[in-house]
Amino acid sequence: MKRYGMFGLFCCVALLQLAAPASMILTREAALRKGRLWKFRTAPVDPYDAFRGRFVALNVEAARHVEVSKPAEFKRGQKVYVLLEETSEGFARITDVVAKRPVGDAYIEARVGYLTSSNPVNLILPINRYYMNEKAAPQAERAYWEHSRIDRQNAYVTVRVRNGLAVIEGLYIGDKSIEDFVREQQR
């Protein structure tokens, strides 16, 4: 009887260990399938992570110097909710930052990066890394940097948002995905 109890306990622990990563994967997949699509303009950052490999580091333009309705409410590192709307050009724009979870699907959970002495807040959005093929990443990074300059800003990222969770769907230069852009450059 003792042997069956230990085996049962082992099975419960094993299921719990599998449930945590499975839940994370399913939540992100649900956001990609059912989430609302948003486009964010980006700016370049230097990328490399020894543990996670090559990626294109993204700096979402809309998250810098955001005017908020109640700046005294926020502290550095605080979890906040970023309210979004779509501009006439089809890109996401931050309308406000609030401390309480809003109703609807037009928001992203984020953190306060730093506050300035005037009203603007800088935010840390969870859409700052685009992972891709290890061999193509350096060329993609160069292309992204070239097309993210202030005088030539035509790089953007598409993001699916569902229940405050933001998942990157694709990185684009003009109307081409970064993968297609790099493939064309290699020809």
Record the pTM: 0.70
Span 69-110, pLDDT tens digits: 776 778 888 999 989 999 999 989 888 888 899 988 889 999
Secondary structure class of 104 (helix, strand, coil): coil
Residue 163 · residue 24 · CB < 8 Å? no
* CB 140 within 8 Å of CB 84: no
Rounded CA-CA distance 93/101 in Å is: 18
Dist. CA 17–CA 24, nearest whole Å: 12
Residue 135 pairs in a beta bridge with: none
Position 52 scores a pLDDT of 54
Q: What is the pLDDT of residue 45?
A: 56
pLDDT of residue 102: 93
What pLDDT shows up at residue 50? 54
Would you call 159 helix, strand, or coil by DSSP? Answer: strand
Give the pair of three-digit tokens for residue 98. 């609030």
166 close to 101: Cβ distance less than 8 angstroms = no
Q: Is 131 exposed, middle or buried (0-12, 13-18, 19+ CB in 10 A)?
A: middle
Cα distances from 169 to residues 12, 43, 151, 173, in angstroms, run 35, 17, 26, 14
Q: Look at residue 150 in the predicted model and tell me its pLDDT.
A: 60
The pLDDT, as a whole number, for residue 109 is 93
Averaged pLDDT score across all residues of the chain: 81
Distance CA 29, CA 84 (A): 21
* Residues 94/171, Cβ–Cβ less than 8 Å: no
| pLDDT beneath 50, residues of the chain | 46-47
